[in-house]
Structure 1
């Protein structure tokens, strides 16, 4: 059995090596495919004939009985600088379409199918499913209507936050990328609401925090970790802004049954093996879902406290340890993305 690990060279090498080593320990062959090398350095081929299809990625045949972990994607590098911008856009679009088309057709087990990841990565959908499962989500307004935003923000006596729905970073004048974090709505925010006519935004009521949770799902296994984020100055709104400072402060957490059941219900609804969910726990002990990232980071919770055995859980799913994979008998296969 081969396990194809799709990633890029800027990804954490120790993490990828850890997954590869765990895969070998199960008697499977790890194959690391650096996706930014395609098409300039690495090859992918799809062939079909009377006897069926053949899938070659980096010279390795991947098919039924194998597994694919789509860890990270990346745009190609190494295209000629003199390439016409129109040709470059066409090449990038065709390369992406070809890659995902081959992966969609390949019968290997996937964590997770690209089309399902794309289809699940929507906060409105996540909030609806969890609300229907009996788990609270923040009162929310997503809009491009300034007056609606003003009325909503005026109805939030404890304040509100604003967040992006897209992970697209902002490229500054010096070329560096800056991720836009969840931020508090301030008076100057209200003065700029007319800009909603150019781009919608997502507003949520401020939920009081006792602590926060990162709950990670690998197939049928669930790991919950707790961070007392209010104790870290600057992490009151979004703990990621102080991520390195908090890295040793995460602790194991026992998740209430009804919250875990709701998380299972969500994963089954969207047809995904993996998910990284963020919750606020209020001073009254109520669990409030913020979002579920279908490709969120998790390795820091194994390399640091609470040292959850997450790589082993991931590889369990990839190699098909009995009882480790979620089953979706009533869910149609994802369409070609």
Structure 2
């Protein structure tokens, strides 16, 4: 059974999964897209739908011989610097086009798929899609209009802000950030996501297929990712919320995910975000939940 890990051996999560899959009897290769097109070779014939992936001179796979792919990290492609910037753009676009063709045309089971990652890039739409399921989300505004920012800030007692796409930690919106000159400059560079602050407890739920594993994250930090001493305590979510986890994963095309919640003092669960490629080693080590084991089962399943 041939399984690919989209990523490389410098990632501890990828290595952990590679070792577990190998022990389970699979043949595992890394698909490090940084090696394309200089070292990795990809071919595809639209007429016959036949494709091949040559990882090295000694290792070549037909698309149909790849059982599954675990999407750990997509590093784009690596095009050498060319004197002609136009030619470099063409080379990049051509390489990305063929790589996306591999991702779309290869009949393997993708955990997670290209569609899931494209949807994840549009986080405002992700929130809307989750709300359509009947799941509560925070009052949210995505904008680059200073007047709208001020209106939203005045309508809530406490507001947080974060990037629309991701890549930075959540912060509290303070009065100094609303200073007109500063606000106008910031919003002329990029829009932001504003949300009402939800008091309560951080909950993270990992969904692997139909399995849901959750833990309370005890921290004094606004964004628990900044707290290296955050405490993880396994919890059993209500059946309704566990089902919402599965429904969210399905609606966002996710075979597996980590869902972040805030549980209010009144016991209400508020959805914050679903991550299509979350870190899981620390969570697994602290809680004892068999996440790696369930990922191996998912990737080796014949469905």
Alpha-carbon displacement from aligned partner over 1:239-293 (angstroms, at most 9, x marks no partner) = 1122x332xx212111122212222222222322022111111222221111111
Determine if the alignment matches structure 1 residue 289 to structure 2 residue 285: no
Shift of 1:7: 0.3
After superposing the two structures, state which structure 1 stretch, 132-141 or 100-109, moved more.
132-141
Paired residues of 2:212 and 2:245 also in contact (CA < 8 A): no
Counterpart position of 1:206: 197
**2-structure distance, mates of 1:271, 1:307:** 27
1:11-40 superposed Cα distances (whole Å, 9 cap, x missing partner):
22xx32321222123322112222211111
1:2–1:67: 8 Å Cα contact kept in structure 2?
Answer: yes
Q: Secondary structure at the match of 1:280?
A: strand
Cα distance in 2 for residues equivalent to 1:82 and 1:125 = 37
Give the structure-2-normalised TM-score: 0.89
Task: Tell me if structure 1 keeps the 8 A contact 2:115–2:253.
Answer: no
2:33 aligned partner: 35
1:97 paired with 2:88, answer no
Measure how far apart 1:65 and its partner are.
6.5
Counterparts of 1:175-190 in structure 2, within 5 Å, are 179-190=167-178
Per the alignment, residue 172 of structure 1 pairs with: none
Indicate yes or no: 2:142 matched with 1:138: no
Give the structure 2 partner of residue 218 of structure 1.
208
2:249 to 252, 267, 274: 267
Kept in 1: contact 2:146–2:183 (CA 8 A): yes
* SS of equivalent residue, structure 1 residue 63: helix
**1:162 matched to 2:161:** yes
Partner of 2:77: 76
Q: CA deviation at 1:203?
A: 0.5
Equivalent residues of 1:8, 1:74 under 8 A apart: no
Shift of 1:57: 4.1
**Following the alignment from structure 1 to structure 2, what is the Cα–Cα distance between the partners of residues 257 and 119?**
26
- Give secondary structure in 1 for the equivalent of 2:229: helix
In structure 1, the gaps of 5 or more residues are 168-178, 326-337
Distance 1:81 1:286 in 2: 53
Q: Secondary structure at the match of 2:138?
A: coil
**Mapped pair 1:125 → 2:151:** no
**Alignment root-mean-square deviation, CA:** 2.2
Using the size of structure 1 for normalisation, the TM-score is: 0.81
Once the two structures are TM-superposed, the CA of residue 223 in structure 1 deviates from its matched residue by: 1.2
| Alignment gaps of 5+ in structure 2 | none
Matched with 1:174 is none
1:26 and 2:10 matched: no
- Give the 3-state SS of the residue equivalent to 1:224 in structure 2: strand
**Alpha-carbon distance in structure 1 between the residues aligned to 2:205 and 2:101:** 31
| 8 Å contact from structure 1 (residues 8, 73) kept in 2 | no
In structure 1, distance between residues paired with 2:43 and 2:136: 47
Q: Give the secondary structure class of the aligned counterpart of 2:142.
A: strand
Q: Conserved in 2, the CA contact under 8 Å of 1:141 and 1:204? A: yes
The answer to whether the 8 A contact 2:8-2:14 is kept is no
Contact 1:130 1:262 in 2 (8 A): no
Query: CA 1:48/1:131 → structure 2, altered by over 3 Å: closer, same or farther?
Result: closer
Tell me, in whole angstroms, the C-alpha distance in 2 between the residues paired with 1:83 and 1:114: 32
Aligned residues: 296
